[in-house]
Amino acid sequence: CDYDQDSTFQEQTSDSCIQNESTEPGMSWAKYTPGMLRQPKSAPLSSFERTSPNDNVELSKSGPTKRKRLFQDKLSKWAQEKASLTEQESNLQSEEAEFKREIWKLKINREQELLQEVKDRIKFQVE
């Protein structure tokens, strides 16, 4: 079996030659551009409806779904915990400031007491 010039070829089988034709139109390779070799664009995946295999809940853009509700619940729980931690931090800082003030007051009082004792000793020794 032989090649023909017009993009047909013959395939030899056990008893005869079968003639097949190419499904592509005849085109010169010299005229190909990179754009011709690219795959055709398909629809984006977001346009397809998806379902979750775990809970068989439709994950469409419209309306709340189980997955979205779970995410929103986690987000609100996180926000509540963050607010609670912020409040606790604020309380801790105010308690720390109050503790430091008390320490300074005790320190000043103790220094005044010691100073008074020293003055009393000096006064006692002078007499």
Domain ranges for the chain: 57-126
Which sign, positive or negative, has the C-alpha torsion 113, 115, 118, 124?
A: negative
CB distance 66 to 57 below 8 Å: yes
Share of the chain above pLDDT 90, in %: 42
pLDDT computed for residue 4 by the predictor? 47
Mean pLDDT value of segment 15-38: 63
Q: In this structure, what DSSP letter does residue 54 have?
A: T
pTM: 0.39
- 18 has which bridge partners? 11
Mean pLDDT value across the chain? 76
Q: What is the pLDDT of residues 62-116, one digit of tens each?
A: 567 888 999 999 999 999 999 999 999 999 999 999 999 999 999 999 999 999 9
What are the backbone dihedrals phi and psi of residue 72, each rounded to the nearest 5 degrees, phi first? -65, -40
DSSP SS3 for 12: strand
pLDDT of the residue at 127: 73
